[in-house]
Amino acid sequence: MMRVLVFGQTGQVATELARQAGADIAMTCLGRDSADLSDPDACAAIIADTETDVVINAAAYTAVDRAESEEDLATTINGTAPGAMARACAVKGTPFLHISTDYVFDGTGTRPWHPDDVTGPLGVYGRSKLAGEEAVRAAGGPHAILRTSWVFSAHGANFVKTMLRLGAERDKLTIVGDQVGGPTAAADIAAALLTMARAFHAGQGTTGTYHFSGAPDVSWADFAREIFAQSALTPQVEDIPTSAYPTPAQRPANSRMDCSALTRDFGVARPDWRESLTTVLSDLKENFR
Q: DSSP label at 111?
A: S
Which residues are marked as active site?
Answer: 125
Cα–Cα distance measured from residue 72 to residue 78, given in angstroms and rounded to the nearest whole number: 10
Q: Which pLDDT does position 171 carry in this prediction?
A: 95
With 0-12 / 13-18 / 19 or more C-beta atoms within 10 angstroms meaning exposed / middle / buried, residue 85 is: buried
Report the half-sphere exposure of 220 (CA within 13 A, side-chain side). 26
Q: Where are the alpha helices (DSSP H) in 111-267?
A: 124-139, 159-169, 186-201, 220-231, 260-266
Report the SS3 class of residue 93: coil
- Sequence-distant (6+) residues with CB within 8 A of 220 are 159, 175, 176, 177, 179
Q: Which pLDDT does position 38 carry in this prediction?
A: 96
Backbone torsions φ then ψ of 175, nearest 5 degrees: -130, 140
pLDDT less than 70: residues of the chain: 286-289
| Bond preceding residue 121 cis, omega within 30 of 0 | no
Q: In Å, how far are 47, 134, 240 from 94, measured between CA atoms?
A: 9, 18, 47
The residue among 133, 187, 173, 146 whose CA lies nearest residue 12 is: 187
Q: Which pLDDT does position 287 carry in this prediction?
A: 54
